[in-house]
Homo-oligomer: A and B are copies of this chain.
Amino acid sequence: MTGNAADLVARHRPTLDAALAAIRTRTFFSHFPEQVKAYPPERSAAAKSWFDAALGGRFPLEQPGTDGEVGGERSPYGFELGITYPHADIDALLPAMAAGIPAWQDAGAEVRAAVCTEILTQLNELSFEVSYAAMHTTGQAFGMAFQAAGPHAQDRGLEAVAYGYSALSTHVSQAVWEKPQGSRPPVRLVKKWVAAPRGIALVVGCNTFPTWNGYPGLFASLVTGNPVLVKPHPSAILPLALTVRAARRVLAQAGFDPNLVALAAEDPHEHLARTLALRPEVRLIDFTGSNEFGDWLERNAVQAQVFTEKAGVNTIVVDSFEPDQYTAALDHLAFSLSLYTAQMCTSPQNLLVPRGGVPVGGELKSFEQFGADLAAAVEKLLGDDARAAAVLGAVVNPFIVERLALAQGVGKTVLASRPVRHPEFPEATVRTPLIAAVDAADGSVYEHEWFGPVSFLIATDDTAHSIELYRRTVSQHGALTSAVYSTDEAVIAAAEEATWQAGANLSINLTGPVYMNQSAGFSDYHGTGLNPAANATYTDHAFVASRFRFVQSRRPA
């Protein structure tokens, strides 16, 4: 162990122990503060200056096997980033990455966990830089970008480190095995076990949450001994380029090969992920994105263990409300439907509402009234353009606007989408949500994902019908999240039973500052792997245990 590595173990062991405790107790735990005000006040301005200076330039990243420069990111707030990144010659880069494996493997779980924690710690120092990078690639408002791309992503990374360390530490690394032989002397063997990495890990990043969705796989693979090649979405390179550069610096400082983490920025039309995913050296793949490519990976990258997070139809069963909760629930739902223009893989899409109406105390709100009340709550939330922009952020790509146009012709529009003028970035495309009412019979409308701010009020026969529809549509078409609103414990229990089968984590009667869209590191799972929206969860032992293999030797004692 280098002196630096020993220092890192001493420094980060308490953090690792706290994280290991948190994944067992699943009570609230956060290592990286989520509030901007927890950080030195000068950091934001310094990061903004860095970002402005970075525009139009070459991102400094030295890694082997570079054969040119690529770029092409455009901020959803309306300007070209103009930043270029080294383009990798894969035939040179992959062997260079593999060369670092033996020393990284030999370092052992505790050193690797400490080095990974140091990478996350240095990323935390860079939270504002990463946030500006995330804001101008994902379209998130700055406040959301700070939390999601910064501390929340870092906490998810630390969670993956803790799970990896836990999986690596399930048994001794050496033992004397003594088998009785009756009257003869026992057989005694000395046995040794090594946790061997699988090979090169590929992280295929997404456009909307490049770090939050990228860090679990990145750190799960790295802590278990694998080099990690990060292939960002061509529209969201900068947040991951910052990440890779920080990781390489920490690895080198700790005495390891910096090529254990590398960037594979691509030309937008190169389909590099497809090429990389079939390379025999690539043995682990983490992907967030479309069903189409996720399914392709699962079917074709058979030389690798593939972890996918894809699309689904996140669903809410609306049954009944306490009178004093109705307004709070509608405001809460309005925020869920609006946050980041519902460009979250966890945003709700399908609201299953009895066509006979929704009891609120003694009063029955008709299906139409419920829709009008929900629409009014959204309009209230987004009535002011400045506040609307802070909630909605910007539209991440033109498909969202096309989908909104298409949704205008579907069912009965309960709430129309409108453009919002962003007070700071007039070129940004900002849109409010559209809500359409359809019937449960219109499965062809709502049984697939409308990524973005389109949701459906779906008229069902009654709540039992809603729950059955929830179970069936989520089982068949996938979902990462679900919710139920009911004053009836029997309905809640039935929704839970459906959830155990459909596998979309359930939020019950939420009205407070935690939304169904949000999962908290160290406590909430993100996805389950039980339905088509994902084949894994962030983070459990199944997410880490197959990223390495125990290999053993044995000899007479």
Question: Which A residues are within 8 Å of any B CB, using their own CB?
Answer: 23-28, 35, 102, 105, 166-167, 170-172, 175-182, 187, 189, 191-194, 196, 198, 298-299, 302, 492, 496-497, 499-501, 503, 505-514, 520, 523-525, 528-530, 537, 540-542, 545-546, 549-556
A171–B167 Cα distance when bound, in Å, is 13
CA–CA, A499 and B550, complex, Å: 11
Asked whether, in the complex, the Cβ of B25 is within 8 Å of the Cβ of A181, the reply is no
Tell me if B545 and A542 are in contact (CB < 8 A).
yes
Point out the residue from B505, B542, B550 that lies within 8 Å of A551, measured CB to CB.
Answer: B505
Set of chain B residues within 8 Å of A175, measured between Cβ atoms: 25-27, 523
Would you call A196 and B28 a contact (CB within 8 A)? Answer: no
Decide: B27 and A177 in contact? CB cutoff 8 A: yes
Name the residue of chain B whose CB is nearest to the CB of A106.
Answer: B500
Q: Closest approach, in angstroms, between the C-beta of A509 and any C-beta of chain B? A: 6
Partner of A530, one of B191, B507, B510, B551: B551
Are A550 and B525 within 8 A (Cβ)?
yes
Q: Is the CB of B508 within 8 A of A27?
A: no
- Asked if A528 meets B551 with Cβ closer than 8 Å, knowing A187-B512, A187-B513, the reply is yes
A-B contact pairs, 29 of them (CB 8 A): A24-B171, A25-B171, A26-B193, A28-B179, A179-B514, A187-B514, A191-B523, A193-B525, A194-B500, A196-B500, A196-B501, A196-B503, A196-B528, A496-B553, A503-B551, A505-B551, A505-B553, A506-B551, A507-B553, A508-B554, A508-B555, A509-B555, A510-B556, A512-B556, A525-B550, A525-B551, A529-B549, A537-B550, A546-B546
Closest to A507 in B: B554
Which residues from B are CB-within-8-Å of A507? 553-555
Q: What 4 A-B pairs are tightest by C-beta distance, nearest first?
A: A508-B555, A542-B545, A506-B553, A542-B546
A189 to B506 CA separation, bound complex (whole angstroms): 12
Asked whether B191 lies within 8 Å of A524 as measured between CB atoms, the reply is yes
Residue of B nearest to A190 (CB): B508
Is the pair B511, A176 in contact by a Cβ cutoff of 8 Å? no
Chain B residue nearest in CB terms to A283: B530
Collect the chain B residues with CB atoms within 8 Å of residue A499's CB. Answer: 551, 553
CA distance A214 to B78 in the complex (A): 60
A152 to B514, CA, bound (A): 51
Residues of B within 8 A of A500 (CB): 105, 194, 196, 551
Residues of B within 8 A of A167 (CB): 541
* A167 nearest in chain B by CB position: B541
CB distance from A495 to the nearest CB of B (A): 8
Shortest distance in angstroms between A467's beta carbon and chain B's nearest beta carbon?
Answer: 14
**Cβ-defined contact, A550 with B540, below 8 A:** yes
- The answer, among B172, B196, B512, B556, for a CB contact under 8 Å with A24, is B172
Known: A25-B171, A499-B553, A528-B551. 4 other contacts (CB 8 A): A26-B171, A27-B178, A179-B514, A540-B550
Minimum CB distance partner of A504 in chain B? B551
Interface centre among A35, A177, A503 (most CB of B within 10 A): A177
| Pair A545/B553 contact, Cβ less than 8 Å | no
Which residues of the partner chain B approach A25 to less than 8 Å between Cβ atoms? Answer: 171-172, 175
For A325, the closest partner residue in chain B by CB is B556
Name the CB-closest residue of B to A166. Answer: B170
State the Cβ distance, A57 to closest chain B Cβ, in Å. 39
Separation of A298 and B305 alpha carbons in the complex (Å): 11
CA distance A552 to B142 in the complex (A): 30
- Tell me the complex Cα distance, A193–B519, Å: 14
**Contact indicator B24/A170 (Cβ below 8 Å):** yes
Contact partners of A555 in chain B: CB under 8 A: 492, 507-510
**Max chain B C-beta neighbours (<10 A), residue from A182, A192, A507, A546:** A546
A510–B188 alpha-carbon span in the complex (Å): 11
Contact partner of A28 among B172, B178, B552, CB < 8 A? B178
CA distance A529 to B303 in the complex (A): 12
Partner of A549, one of B166, B187, B514, B528: B528
A492 to B190, CA, bound (A): 14
Verify A541–B545 contact, CB threshold 8 A. yes
What's the nearest-Cβ distance from chain B to residue A354, in Å? 21
CA gap between A45 and B470 in the complex, in Å: 58
* Residues of the B chain whose Cβ atoms lie less than 8 Å from the Cβ of A540: 170, 545, 550
B residues near A24, Cβ cutoff 8 Å: 170-172
Closest Cβ neighbor of A516 among chain B residues: B554
Of chain B, the residue at the smallest CB distance from A497 is B102
Cβ distance A434 to chain B, nearest Cβ, rounded Å = 28
- Nearest chain B CB to A92's CB is how many angstroms away? 21
Provide the bound-state CA to CA distance between A23 and B170, in Å.
8
A121 → B minimal CB distance (Å):
22
Distance in angstroms between the alpha carbons of A510 and B191 in the assembled complex: 12
Residues on B with C-beta less than 8 A from A189 are 514
Q: Is the CB of B509 within 8 A of A556?
A: yes
Bound-state CA distance A459–B542 (Å) is 43
Q: Which of B172, B194, B520 contacts A177 (CB 8 A)?
A: B520
A541 to B544, CA, bound (A): 10
Question: Which single residue of chain B is at the shortest CB-CB distance from A508?
Answer: B555
Q: Which residues of B contact A187 (CB under 8 A)?
A: 512-514
